[in-house]
Amino acid sequence: GAGVSQSPSNKVTEKGKDVELRCDPISGHTALYWYRQSLGQGLEFLIYFQGNSAPDKSGLPSDRFSAERTGGSVSTLTIQRTQQEDSAVYLCASSRGTDTQYFGPGTRLTVL
């Protein structure tokens, strides 16, 4: 079956611009996660959605980062006023509850 998909696969933007990254989880998965992977920092948790519960935003690095999940399915991660240090691969994962997380291929963000 279809896995987690993310779009775009690559995004190049200028410093100060806003970007939106999209994640389509596996159908039927109630949990959705965003992680960021950068050189020197490894893979860091950003935000977690579980069903209709309030999201766990404890990993968001600043208030420029936000995410929403519409209809319990698709999620969008928004970064406002991008900075060069935001350059990284943004990974989305989904799971049934707290079971195995399945990752998408990621969006490679480059901020010039």
Q: Per CB under 8 A, does 31 bind other proteins?
A: yes
Phi/psi of residue 61, each to 5°? -75, -25
Taking the C-alpha atoms of residue 64 and residue 76, their distance in angstroms, rounded to an integer, is 14
Q: Which residues ranging from 76 to 95 are in contact with other proteins (CB under 8 A)?
A: 91, 93, 95
Q: Assess 56 for contact with other proteins (CB under 8 A).
A: yes
Among 23, 25, 33, 111, binds other proteins (CB under 8 A): 33
Phi, psi of 8 (to 5 degrees): -75, 170
> What residues contact residue 100 under an 8 Å CB cut-off, 6+ apart?
none
Contact call for residue 44 and other proteins (CB under 8 A)? yes
Q: Write out the residues near other proteins by the rule CB under 8 A.
A: 4, 31, 33, 35, 40-45, 48, 50, 56, 58-59, 91, 93, 95, 97-106
